[in-house]
Every structure is written in C-alpha cells, then in structure tokens.
C-alpha cells in the first residue's frame, strides 16, 4: 500500500468532490463464519457502502454492547482469528476495493506483535485500524508504524471529551474521526443524540478530516438526520442484529440478500442529501 493513496482517504476525497455523504458499516468478523463475512463485504460494496469496519473477535470486548459482544463470541466460535481475517481480506480484494477498517482491541495487537500486525494488515489490503482501547497518549510507536505502512489511524471522540483533548486526538488521527454520539457501549437507540451538530462543529475547529458519527443509528430517518451534521454515518449493531437473526439457518446468499435489503434504504437516505 505504500506509495498509493489510502483507500479511505481516497473515498472521502471523492465523496467531498461530489458533495456526497458516506455510509460506514460495522460487522463482526467471522459472524456466522468467514465465508459470510467475505460475501457480506462484496454485497455492501454493491449497494454503495463507503467503508466497512470489521470487528476482530476478542474475548473481552468492553466497549461493545450485548449485540456486538455476542457477534464477537460467534466469531470466536467459528474459529476466526487475525491470520484467518487477513486471508478473508485478501479474498475480498480480488473482487473489491471497498475501504476496510479493522475494529480491534489492543490486546490482540500486543499478542500478535504490533509491528507485525500492522505490516500484515497492509499486505492483506486493510486500510485502517480503530484500536478501541489505545489512547493517543499511550500509543508509543503505533502511529509511526501505521504511517509507514500507509494505514489510517482512526481515533474516537466522545461527547465527554474535553476541548483540549479533542484537539490532541484529531491532530494525531488520519482517514476520518469516529465521533461516538452517545456515552456508554454500542447499541441501537430510539432516537439520535440532540447535540451531534454542536459536537461536529466543535471537532471541525481542530481538523478538516471527515467526521463519521456512530452509536445508536438503526433506520433510514436516523441515518439521514445524522448525515446532515457529519461527513459519514456509521451503522453497526442494527446490522449485526440482522445477521444474528438469520444466523446459520439460511444460506449465505440468502443472508446477504436480507442484510442488503435492510442496509440499502439507509445508504439511499444518506446519499439523498
């Protein structure tokens, strides 16, 4: 990937040039199996998703609500681990250039070897990492290793993040800023947070990176409402719920068709702005 523009950066640059908003999907890797993860990724590309976040299954996903915790458990049960996920991304790359982010806990990088994990991500065709529990102040050589591999360093900003810390975080990020619109863990909500516009304006005073807003968005109206204030909308738990409901009871093509029909109206709502 070195020498090439990062796919995430390129996608957001193209969206900005067209005056369009982005749609980001989160799914658990290997839920219900890795063949389904690959087929879903290609399906998301077909219906206009802009970035795919894949959760790397972990035994103790503290930032996740129950829906995504159970997805991580199903991923572990299907035998999913980082090497197998790298193989899946390589297979996706044969057919698709959809930007891919790994959503991962630092313990997995630490055990695998941080530098080796980053290099293997780049070789497989991963475009960025969102390390849930790695604050910039404690990142050590992580950011330099990511830059040399051509990967985007995606950091989180929360509603409770003070101004001076927002400035520190966004200056050390690349690709996009992930704004968590609610305190607490991931999960679906009845309505979107009321202060998204105010917070995205505050973040923009410190950076011109695109802002993707997630946590709690689960239908087209909510997605469209959030997209008014942000460069992109992230939907995770609501999609993971659809995958869980279908589970292993349907074929992979049927699973993909069901998930596509759920996601497409949200993509269309965001793209209609």
Catalytic residues: 53, 64
Taking alpha carbons only, the member of 156, 161, 159 closest to residue 131 is 156
Extract the tokens encoding 14. 């193209």
| Number of helices (H), then strands (E), in the chain | 12, 9
CA distance 143 to 147: 6
Residue whose tokens read 């297979």: 91
CA distance 187 to 238: 8
Q: How far is CA 97 from CA 10, 11, 33, 130, in A?
A: 11, 10, 21, 19
């Amino acid at each position: 990937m070195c020498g090439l523009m990062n796919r995430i950066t390129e996608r957001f640059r193209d969206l900005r040039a067209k005056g369009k908003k982005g749609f980001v999907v989160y799914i658990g890797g290997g839920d219900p199996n890795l063949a389904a993860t690959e087929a879903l990724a290609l399906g998301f590309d077909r219906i206009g998703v802009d970035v795919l976040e894949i959760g790397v299954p972990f035994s103790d996903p503290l930032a996740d609500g129950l829906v995504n915790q159970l997805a991580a458990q199903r991923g572990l049960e299907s035998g999913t681990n980082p090497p197998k996920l790298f193989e899946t991304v390589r297979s996706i790359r044969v057919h698709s250039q959809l930007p891919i982010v790994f959503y991962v806990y630092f313990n997995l990088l630490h055990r695998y070897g941080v530098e080796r994990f980053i290099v293997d991500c780049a070789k497989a065709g991963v475009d960025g990492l969102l390390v849930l529990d790695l604050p910039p102040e404690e990142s050590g050589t992580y950011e330099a290793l990511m830059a040399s591999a051509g990967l985007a360093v995606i950091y989180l900003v929360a509603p409770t993040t003070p101004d001076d810390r927002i400035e520190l975080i966004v200056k050390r990020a690349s690709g996009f800023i992930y704004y968590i619109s609610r305190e607490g863990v991931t999960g679906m909500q009845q309505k979107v947070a009321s202060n998204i516009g105010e917070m995205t304006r505050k973040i923009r005073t410190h950076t011109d990176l695109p802002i993707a807003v997630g946590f709690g968005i689960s239908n087209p109206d909510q997605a469209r409402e959030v997209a008014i204030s942000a460069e992109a909308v992230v939907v995770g738990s609501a999609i993971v719920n659809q995958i869980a409901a279908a589970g292993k009871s349907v074929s992979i093509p049927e699973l993909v068709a069901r998930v596509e029909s759920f996601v497409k109206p949200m993509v269309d709502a965001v793209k209609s702005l």
